[in-house]
Amino acid sequence: MLGDVTSFATSARHLARNPLGIIALFIVLIYAFASLVVGFSDKLTATERLPVIWFLILFPGLVLIVFAWLVSRHHAKLYSPADYRKDSAFIEASVEQVQVAAAVGAATARKLPEDVSPEDFASETSVAARRVAHLITPNLLQATSERRVLWVDDHHTRNSFERGAMEALGFRIRLARSTEEAFRTVQEEQFDVIISNMNRPSERRAGLTLLDRLRSHGFNTPYIIYSAPVAPEQQAEVWKRGGLGITGKPDDLLIMLLENVSSCPKAA
């Protein structure tokens, strides 16, 4: 009996080191108390036993729903320093979160109208920063490290903050200023993702033109158009031509990019 108590205490101490362990410990303790109640259920009336029975039936489903929500929406918060092989890995992930959040917030601020209210300004930038920052984990940093991106735009200064966020995540970015330059570069090098603006001098649909040209020549590199404003019909056109999508929001761009590289092997 004493050995069982000691073993439980040791396990509890290890579980309490991170949020997931605390959740597991909490569930174990709740079921332990429920088991004690069931053990004395012969002294309870049928009406008194009914809530315990319903609790034992419904509680696992509730736990599953909450756990699925945590994993899908807040998985980065389920880690603690003890979950990393080295303290430096935890620090690195935290630093990258700050750098990326700052860059995405700055990129979002740059795109807001000049007459936006201070309240809307703060809300828009903070929401954009949080949407991207919570995705950053050591596994994601490993997946994005040394990924190659070709960014096509005739004015690269206007997306410097977005590139800064990507470079903080380990992406290697090659710049091109025209459809012709981009096509030549793709023939010479392999990329994990191509990002292009839509309008360039003398061509209002240059982003779609480059996408069509790449696909017609057998280049299936994931393709994102980064341009604003975005009309619904443009999104349909990009998908129809085999692109990942079109967006004018920095946080949407980063999320689209991260979702793609997380599921695809690195370019050779």
pLDDT tens track for 213-254: 999 999 999 999 999 888 888 899 999 999 999 999 999 999
Mean of pLDDT values over 31-58: 70
Q: pLDDT tens digit string along 128-145?
A: 888 888 788 777 888 888
Q: Which tokens is 73 given?
A: 């929406």
What pLDDT does 137 receive? 78
pLDDT at 170 over 60: yes
Most confidently modeled range among 107-116, 120-129, 147-156 = 147-156
Q: pLDDT tens digit string along 65-77?
A: 776 666 555 555 5
pLDDT at 111 over 70: yes
Residue 2: pLDDT band (50, 70, 90) is very low
pLDDT at 10 over 60: no
The domain segmentation of the chain, as residue ranges, is 2-78, 86-263
* Distance from the first to the final alpha carbon of the chain: 59
Quick check: 235 and 256 in contact, CB under 8 A? Answer: no
Residue 211: pLDDT band (50, 70, 90) is very high
Average pLDDT, the chain: 80
Kindly report whether the global pTM for this prediction surpasses the value 0.85: no
Mean of pLDDT values over 167-172: 92
Please give the class, per CATH, of domain 86-263: alpha beta
Q: Which of 60, 59, 83, 63 is closest to 71 using CA atoms?
A: 63
